[in-house]
A and B are shown apart, each in its own frame.
Chain A
Amino acid sequence: MTHRVEPAVAALLAASLLAALCVGPLNLPAESVGRVLARLAGLPVEADDRAIAVVSALRLPRAVLAALVGAGLGVGGAVMQGLFRNALADPGILGISGGASLGAVSAIYFGAASFGIWAMPFAGFAGGLLATNVVSRLARTEGRMPVAALLLSGIAVNAFAMAMMGMLVYSSDDRQLRDITVWLLGSLSGASWQRVTLVAPAVALALAALPFLARALDALILGEREAANLGVRVERVKRLAIAVVAMATGAVVSVAGPIGFVGLVVPHVVRLAAGAGHRRLLPLSAGAGAALLAGADTLARVVVAPAELPVGLVTAAIGAPFFALLLLREKARLGA
């Protein structure tokens, strides 16, 4: 059964993206969406102006952004869980989400948002990279980064970022406070091609690094010394893994806010279906994360239309029960 996972995830991703393009508060027939897509692909097809505008300027960038964000979070979670050999690791474990959130919240607080739509993503991205940098410096001893030290440094940096955010929340005025609250729920609203171009390179680089990581992470399951005996250059792998996750997560959080749950749970679901080998786990986590977020965001856009839900609420609300169900089904096997 496990060999059918790749086609299943691919089909799921295609279905989510299709739904994201065809479904929305504005009622567009699937046929006219198809015409727009054909037109965008360069085919000589007539399409109506309204459909072109809505699909190409609103739905398409948003679907692509959702998929990128989901892929980034899914891969980030899978890599971190592999590196830490810890099922509770998520992309935020190295302080990246905390740092990125602090960066974005500072941007709101200091009014950087009025310097244009790029200010917040950049502040978020910078915050994430800075946090990762601090964590790796804190954890480094004699040229090595012991996993336990990384984990504890991550906890320290996250706690500090949370405290700083608390200070900003406390001293912000009514309007900033409401902005911060909305942002912290995680949302893809305002998705545009500019934001896609901001996130795409980071996620693409992370995906490109996966083949170099997969074998090493497999070896790391046995333990660091054993992996080293197998010829894995453990410290280099750690640095690469951290760089990859920092970039992807920093970019993702800075445009979409801290969307929880995806990075933690998607790798688990994939592992239950396809096993723990990273050669399959990493790309499948990317695909499944993309499918989950594109689907969740479609729901977020329509359930309370013409208003919209923060997508972070939707991922948690549909993902958590689904995960619990899977656990129930697999409990016997897990216990064995």
Chain B
Amino acid sequence: MRGVLLAAFAAAALQAGGANAAETPQRIAVAGSGLTEIVVALGAGDRLVGVDTTSLFPERVRRLPQLGYLRAIAAEGVLSLKPDMLLASEDAGPPAVLAQLASAGLRIVRAQEGYDPEAVVRRVAHVGEAIGRPEAARALEGEIAADLARVHAAVPRGNPPRVLFLLAAGAGAPLVAGRETAAAAMIEYAGGRNAIDGYRGYKPLSAEGAVEAAPDLVLTTDTTVRALGGMDAVRALPAFGTLAATKKLRFAEIDPVYMLGFGPRIAHAVRELARILHPDAALPELPERAWLKADR
């Protein structure tokens, strides 16, 4: 009953959208920052009608209606934007709401996650197909793959520095990235080794654990530095004070939306991180791609 009614609604909406609305969506809602970047990079940014709160790049998407947090989108809220497609990352939810939207007849295209650069290329193809811009997608795939190949060839592989990724989430102790995180994946691609191998996901920093991990570099985010009260406060954390007394310890801060977004800017992000990890290595200059600009 419910499904029939919602499908009727969707059919009415589709008729209003024009004859070939089913093939080429004109009003796209997106839940997932990497997907948002891909849609804009494919030149379809003006078809976006709403994005989730993790979508922060390029700057124009911040002015769009906000669907709320990726894992907690609202059924009627999404429908109120009258989208003809919802592009949702694997992380988007909750499942009950996605089920309601699907039974409302809304086309939902799910994109696979996966913390590897090749997955980004596949996602570009998938999104290009879904939004009716396959040629633009092939061009973008080619550019990303070429940039990735150049960076990959130049990243030094011998003697990888041990990198500890620190992230402050709210109050509490800052968290450290373990296995199977975006941070760990990026560190590997940029020719480093994630200093923590003993757990997956993020766990609170223990001073002794950090000492045992013996990082050469502490990587953190701009928001973490702000939350902890400046880079000097990060350096002064007990764990790092102890470490710095016994070995050379470097600190660097990154923009997590850029570095951990696994969107079209992946090759440039890997290069940027490789430059931080290997300051002396000769890395190729990558072309200034159009989709790098924040003000598109």
* Chain B contacts for A52, CB-based, 8 A: 5, 8-9
Tell whether, in the assembled complex, residue A56 and residue B71 are in contact, meaning their CB atoms are under 8 Å apart.
no
Which one of B93-101, B185-193, B223-231, B250-258 is at the interface?
B93-101
Tell whether, in the assembled complex, residue B76 and residue A25 are in contact, meaning their CB atoms are under 8 Å apart.
yes
The number of chain B residues with a CB under 8 A from chain A is: 43
Tell whether, in the assembled complex, residue B71 and residue A304 are in contact, meaning their CB atoms are under 8 Å apart.
no
Tell whether, in the assembled complex, residue B180 and residue A173 are in contact, meaning their CB atoms are under 8 Å apart.
yes
The number of chain A residues with a CB under 8 A from chain B is: 36
Tell whether, in the assembled complex, residue A306 and residue B201 are in contact, meaning their CB atoms are under 8 Å apart.
no
B259 at the interface (CB under 8 A from A): no
Tell whether, in the assembled complex, residue A193 and residue B79 are in contact, meaning their CB atoms are under 8 Å apart.
no
* Chain A contacts for B203, CB-based, 8 A: 170
Tell whether, in the assembled complex, residue A173 and residue B6 are in contact, meaning their CB atoms are under 8 Å apart.
no
* Chain A contacts for B72, CB-based, 8 A: 182, 187, 189, 308, 310
Fill in one digit per residue for A61-76: 1 if any B CB lies within 8 Å of its CB, else 0: 0000000000000000
Q: Which residue of A has the minimal Cβ distance to B97?
A: A190
* Chain A contacts for B97, CB-based, 8 A: 189-190
Tell whether, in the assembled complex, residue B201 and residue A54 are in contact, meaning their CB atoms are under 8 Å apart.
no
Tell whether, in the assembled complex, residue A24 and residue B12 are in contact, meaning their CB atoms are under 8 Å apart.
no
B156 at the interface (CB under 8 A from A): no
A278 at the interface (CB under 8 A from B): no
* Chain A contacts for B95, CB-based, 8 A: 113, 117, 190
CA distance A237 to B67 in the complex (A): 48
Tell whether, in the assembled complex, residue A301 and residue B5 are in contact, meaning their CB atoms are under 8 Å apart.
no
* Chain B contacts for A59, CB-based, 8 A: 76
Tell whether, in the assembled complex, residue B104 and residue A53 are in contact, meaning their CB atoms are under 8 Å apart.
yes
Q: Which residue of A has the minimal Cβ distance to B169?
A: A177
Q: Which residue of B has the minimal Cβ distance to A179?
A: B71
Known interface pairs A172-B201, A173-B200; A24-B80 also in contact (CB < 8 Å): yes
Fill in one digit per residue for B80-101: 1 if any A CB lies within 8 Å of its CB, else 0: 1100000000010111110110
Q: Which residue of A has the minimal Cβ distance to B2?
A: A57
CA distance A173 to B93 in the complex (A): 16
Known interface pairs A24-B76, A49-B8, A307-B68; A58-B100 also in contact (CB < 8 Å): yes
Fill in one digit per residue for A170-181: 1 if any B CB lies within 8 Å of its CB, else 0: 101111011100
Listed in ascending order, the chain B residues whose CB lies under 8 Å from chain A are 2, 5-6, 8-13, 50, 53, 65-69, 71-81, 91, 93-97, 99-100, 103-104, 180-181, 200-203
Listed in ascending order, the chain A residues whose CB lies under 8 Å from chain B are 24-27, 49-50, 52-54, 56-59, 113, 117, 170, 172-175, 177-179, 182, 187, 189-190, 192-193, 301, 304-308, 310
* A–B pairs, 10, beta carbons within 8 Å: A25-B80, A26-B79, A49-B5, A50-B13, A52-B5, A52-B8, A57-B103, A117-B95, A190-B95, A308-B77
Q: A25-B76, A54-B79 are in contact. List 19 more A-B contacts (CB 8 A).
A: A24-B76, A57-B100, A113-B95, A117-B96, A170-B203, A174-B181, A174-B201, A189-B96, A189-B97, A190-B100, A192-B2, A192-B100, A301-B77, A306-B65, A306-B66, A306-B77, A307-B67, A307-B73, A308-B68
